[in-house]
Amino acid sequence: TDLSKIRNFSIIAHIDHGKSTLADRMIQVCGGLTDREMKEQVLDNMELERERGITIKAQTVRLEYKAKDGETYILNLMDTPGHVDFAYEVSRSLAACEGALLVVDASQGVEAQTLANVYLALDGDLELLPVLNKIDLPAAEPERVRTQIEDVIGIDASGALEISAKTGIGIQDVLEAVVTDLPAPVGDPNAKLQAMLVDSWYDPYLGVIILVRVVEGTLKKGAKVRMMSTGRTHDVDRVGVFTPKHVMVNELGPGEMGFITASIKSVHDCKVGDTITYEKDPADAALPGFKPSVPVVFCGLFPVDASDFEYLRESLGKLALNDASFKYDTESSAALGFGFRCGFLGLLHLEIIQERLNREFDLDLISTAPSVVYRMGMTDGTEQELHNPVDYPDVTKIKWIEEPWIKATIMVPDEFLGPVLTLCTERRGEQVDLTYVGNRAMVVYNLPLNEVVFDFYDRLKSISKGYASFDYEIVGYREGDLVKVQILINSDPVDALAMIVHRSQAEYRGRQICARLKDLIPRQLFKVALQAAIGGKVIARETVGALRKDVTAKCYGGDITRKRKLLEKQKEGKKRMRQFGKVEIPQSAFLEALKMG
């Protein structure tokens, strides 16, 4: 293939700015699908997106476009994962491209995710082509947004195309600009093979499908390849491209994108960013930028109905089949029974997995408050990671403890700036930057991730009436005065409610959770003491008063069916009770208490 006739690009955009619509339009214009197939394709996509919450897997479509210069070009359009939780995966998808369309909704303007994605693209030295979408909307202000792109992002937007992915205005110009303004790939078909593993997923018919971008050399069907990070070898049994239908080919040359299968059973053998080379005559070095993905947020997932435990295990296994970055391990809790400690790339990843378990597997689950990964230096000189507050060691053995910090970018209309700044300050934030773009403020804060996993999104949404957009990246670990707060019910610690917090927040959080539990725990025949404590020191307390009368007393002598009903109701409730010493607490109380974080 003539490299000068190939263009590899992706589309980056804030959510809802029109990425999928534009991609579908381009597929349609290039005739990758008939109208009927197009409908199916679009539906398929939606189904997948729904299944995944958002795009998690990178996908590519190979299009043929006959340009105005009379030549036919191969356009490889790569759909990148939709969220910065998957920043590393996004960065690898972008690394497979030479350029990107930067789509901005002309009625909305630049948002936090636009910026986060732009930074990733600029890190990867991609050529950016700004596109103003939704100009059909009366509220569209292309001129204002053009200036905003120049001010905020600092790229020339004077030539930005004005399009409507919905009505089709300007799509041809976009395709033409991809050909004329984005660089062609370079590479030597006879060099030693270096192909980047962009993504992988499990297909019930073909096994693991690997999405690759060949950088140097030629990847051929039938060859034995080696994954450079693990050293494992596999026989390539299929090579193909997506048009978006699977079309088999014999080889992929440098600059090409496509897929291979190699009878691989698990996506865990296929690490995003890894380099694939030949077993014989391998490349001297792997491609730069490989990083094994590590979970940063953990939580416990427990079935509401204990008999669902094995089914939950099975379901987690199925999800993990397709998601190499999702980790899980069994865990047991006095309050919640048997469940799993799960690791995620970020909060959104966690939400997606929870959502899928609920929707696709119909599982009713309780999750414990998300916790970040702490690092601890011990007095005996060793270091360890803490994934679960329950495992917090004896304080006297801890020399120091560090927590992850993020750099958060928040974009918010001027009128909501005050409360946003207050929220960030309350959460131990340090302001890094504050700039204005028209009537929108862009604030950058360094924040402890610990404070963000605790209802930060919800608060941000409510104080900005939904207008704030938020994105973050992890910047590193810092030492902090972090303590374990335990919640005690009649002196028994409830493991599921234990949390690691900054000392300055301990009392407030402890008091909040005790007050909440007080309302949630039904009265018993005796008083129930609720306490929050750091080590042996109680920092907050509440009491649930004793119940005076038998529940059925008031029906005494009355309607017998009513009495029976009441007893039955009680029995029903019993199933969901958890025993704490002599205190019985409905599981729903924990669920509610956990909801607030």
φ, ψ of residue 381 to 5 degrees: the values are: 90, -10
Contact call for residue 13 and ligand GDP (CB under 6 A): yes
Q: What are the DSSP calls for 437-454, one per residue?
A: ETTEEEEEEEEEHHHHTT
Site string for ligand GDP, 105-144 (x = CB under 6 A): ----------------------------xx-xx-------
For residues 133 and 163, the answer to whether their CB atoms sit within 8 Å is: yes
Beta bridge partners of 202: 208
CB of 55 to ligand GDP, least distance (A): 8
- HEC string of 296-327 equals CEEEEEEECCHHHHHHHHHHHHHHHHCCCCCE
Instruction: For residue 510, say whether it is annotated as part of any ligand binding site.
Output: no
CB of 102 to ligand GDP, least distance (A): 12
Q: Which of 7, 19, 387, 578 binds ligand GDP (CB under 6 A)?
A: 19
Contact call for residue 20 and ligand GDP (CB under 6 A): yes
Cα angle 544-548-549, degrees, rounded to a multiple of 5: 130
Of residues 371, 391, 388, 362, the one with CA closest to residue 304: 362
From CA 215, how far away is CA 194, in angstroms rounded?
6
Residue 137 touches which member of Mg ion, ligand GDP, none, C-beta under 5-8 Å by kind = ligand GDP
Taking only Cα atoms into account, the Rg of the chain, rounded to an integer number of angstroms, comes to 27
Q: Which of 74, 120, 165, 487 binds ligand GDP (CB under 6 A)?
A: 165
For residues 353 and 579, the answer to whether their CB atoms sit within 8 Å is: no
- H/E stretch holding 570 reads helix 560-575
For residues 275 and 194, the answer to whether their CB atoms sit within 8 Å is: yes
Select from 164-172, 215-223, 359-367, 571-579 the region that touches ligand GDP (CB under 6 A): 164-172
For residues 239 and 246, the answer to whether their CB atoms sit within 8 Å is: no
Residue 134 touches which member of ligand GDP, Mg ion, none, C-beta under 5-8 Å by kind = ligand GDP
The residue of the chain with the least Cβ separation from Mg ion equals 20
CB of 134 to ligand GDP, least distance (A): 4
Instruction: For residue 17, say whether it is annotated as part of any ligand binding site.
Output: yes
Select from 16-24, 203-211, 381-389, 543-551 the region that touches ligand GDP (CB under 6 A): 16-24
Residue 109 touches which member of ligand GDP, Mg ion, none, C-beta under 5-8 Å by kind = none
Of residues 192, 270, 279, 198, the one with CA closest to residue 235: 279
Contact call for residue 447 and ligand GDP (CB under 6 A): no
Of residues 24, 8, 64, the one with CA closest to residue 165: 24
From CA 467, how far away is CA 472, in angstroms rounded?
17
Contact call for residue 71 and ligand GDP (CB under 6 A): no
Contact call for residue 16 and ligand GDP (CB under 6 A): yes
For residues 473 and 116, the answer to whether their CB atoms sit within 8 Å is: yes
Select from 17-25, 238-246, 522-530, 545-553 the region that touches ligand GDP (CB under 6 A): 17-25
Instruction: For residue 19, say whether it is annotated as part of any ligand binding site.
Output: yes
Instruction: For residue 147, say whether it is annotated as part of any ligand binding site.
Output: no
Question: Which residues sit at the interface with Mg ion, rule CB under 5 A?
Answer: 19-20
Select from 1-9, 160-168, 245-253, 281-289 the region that touches ligand GDP (CB under 6 A): 160-168
Q: Using CB under 6 A as the criterion, which residues of the chain lie in contact with ligand GDP when the complex forms?
A: 13, 15-21, 133-134, 136-137, 164-166
Residue positions in the annotated binding site for GTP?
16-21, 133-136
Residue positions in the annotated binding site?
16-21, 133-136
